[in-house]
Each structure stands twice: as C-alpha cells, then as structure tokens.
Amino acid sequence: MKLKKLDQGKEYTTDAIVIGAGPIGLFAVFELGLLDIKTHLVDILDNPGGQCTELYPEKPIYDIPGIPKISGQGLTDELLKQIAPFDPSFHLSQMAESLFQNENKEWVLETNEKTKITSKVVIIAAGGGSFVPKKPPIPNIEKYEQLGFVKYSLKKLDEYKNKNILITGGGDSALDWTNILAPIANKVTLVHRRDEFRAAPDSVSKMHKFRDEGKVDLKIGQVKELNGENKLEEVQIESIGGENKYDIKTDYLMPFFGLTMKLGPIANFGLNLERNLINVDSEKFETNVKKIFAIGDINFYPGKLKLILSGFHEAALMSQQAFKYIFPEKKLRFQYTTTSSSLQNKLGIK
C-alpha cells in the first residue's frame, strides 16, 4: 500500500481522527471503513506500525487468530493491505498536541507541526503513549549511539549475522532478542545483574539451551565502560561487588531495560485517567468525554487484557458507536463481510 501522507501545517476535514498508527489504529481504519467512515491517522513515528515496527519488527507474534506466526513488520504490512481500499490519510512524524471543540461541536486536533484536522469523532489508539527506551548510565554511551553501535531496537536481522553482540537486561525483550540473535550471530553475550530473570520461563529455558550449545555466554555483572575509536570494540563488565573487571570484544551493545511511557499532550485532553491509562466503558470504549474513544493498550476497564486481539475487538465495537455520531440520520445495519455484496464491493472483491 502506498501511504497517502498529507502536508504539514495545513487544515483538513474528515469523519474520524485516529491518534496512533499501530496495529489497533490500523484495524480501526478497517472497521470504520466498512461503515463508510473516512479517517485521518496521526502518529509521532515516521512510519505506521507503532511498537511492532519500531521496536520489534522481526520479533514473531503467535497469538493473532488464524495466523500461527507473523512478525511485527509482517502484521503491519498485512493490516496496511487490508485498509488500502479505504484510502486513509496519514499525518506522520507529528504529535497530537491539542484538542478542542469548535462552534459546531466538532473536534479540532492540532499537531506540533500546526496541522489542523476537524472531525466528528476522535479515536485514541496510541498504545502506551509516546515511548522512549530506558538508557543505562554508561559514560559516553551517546557517542556510540550516534555511531550506530548501541541499539535499543532491531529492524534488520541481516545486519547482525556473524557479529559479536552484547545484550544487557533481564526482561522479556533482553531474553527474546538473545534467543533470536543466537542462531545467526557469531556470539551473543548476555549480561545481567543476577542469575534470575523477569522473562517468560520458556525464554529463559531457550537461553540456557543456547548457552549449553556455546552460542550464548551469560555474564553476571553490569556494563561499566565502552571503548573504541570510530566504532564499538570492547565493553567493560564489572562484577556486582566490584571485585572483578574484564573486557569483552563486541560489535554491538543492546541495552534492554524497558520503555518509559508518557501520555504526552493526551493527558491534557480532559479524560479520566487511571494509572496513566484512559478509562473507558466496555460497551463502546468511549471515554468520559463524548465522541472521544480509546482502544488498545492505552485504555483501562475491568478485565482489560493488553493483547492485540483485544484491541481488534475494541475497534469493532467502537466503530458501531462512532457511526451513530457521524451519521445520526442513518440506520446502522449489521452485515457480514462473507455474505454482504455491499461490503465486498467496498473491499474491491469481485
């Protein structure tokens, strides 16, 4: 799908604004499109896909119904194909900065690039909000970040074939990437403060198996120093008590200490928040502010599960209520894509 990227700093009008172009935001376009609702998407990243493409493009996902295994980038690509018939408009590399109602009671969203979009409804599908990786306190780490030898996300696995990789951290991301890179790298060194991990037990078992095979070297300690002129050459590891220090030759350092999530300007939209999440009802996924919805990881309601498939469900129910606001004079008729010739025509199915 060729993205329709609109110019910054101009004014636009549409039926619905979707804040966030991750998997849930993209699927919302599909559900809205089936109901003839036109959408504009706003995302701070420069490409659709959210965390799936920015942080985990090649990480396998196993719990999408009917798809036994797919990568983060693969899921994004398929969702973009699915919404192509509805020709959505994208406002990328822009943050949703302010939101207010005009004299016609329509929502007006303004971005940090002075783009203004007017719509009947707003759907917030911004994941956890703006996210940045937690950086370890290592001297001169910025130098190696700029040179491209410190990575907080991985996009092309081929870049790391036959390389020496040092991963530090003890959570799911650190263990997942250790297990993904071990078969293709020359050597993966995993550094953690203790021999206990916060990751899924299966991931820990896989890491120990790779260690037994000599593909992973587990070090208990912490990274203290980076060395190398125009590239990363050595990483100094210090034992927890500080008694021992030793250098490990490596081509890349990958710190995985989680993400810092920030709602950013969304926190100023007048919405009820709980633990930095947006409260919604579990029927329409509408917030306390009429005609503003929140779907995906950014919302909260009793029984909430932070799963992509849950977000897909929320997008479908949200769209039914959005239709009533956008087309109050029309009767909503529920149809199945498998049997409705009208819906199939919208999808370009002959």
Query: What is the per-residue pLDDT for 40?
Result: 98
Query: What is the per-residue pLDDT for 130?
Result: 58
pLDDT along the chain (350 residues), means of 10: 89 97 97 98 90 80 94 95 97 91 95 95 83 81 94 85 96 91 96 90 94 95 93 93 88 86 74 88 96 95 95 98 97 93 91
Query: What is the per-residue pLDDT for 235?
Result: 95
If we measure between CA atoms, which residue out of 333, 349, 291 comes closest to residue 36? 333
Query: What is the per-residue pLDDT for 172?
Result: 86
Bridge partners, 50 (sequence order): none
Query: What is the per-residue pLDDT for 350?
Result: 79
Residue 192 belongs to what H/E stretch?
A: strand 187-192
Residue 98 belongs to what H/E stretch?
A: strand 96-101
Query: What is the per-residue pLDDT for 244?
Result: 86
Residue 339 φ/ψ, nearest 5 degrees: -120, -15
Amino acid at 189: T
**Vertex 176: Cα angle to 173 and 180 (nearest 5):** 135
Query: What is the per-residue pLDDT for 131?
Result: 58
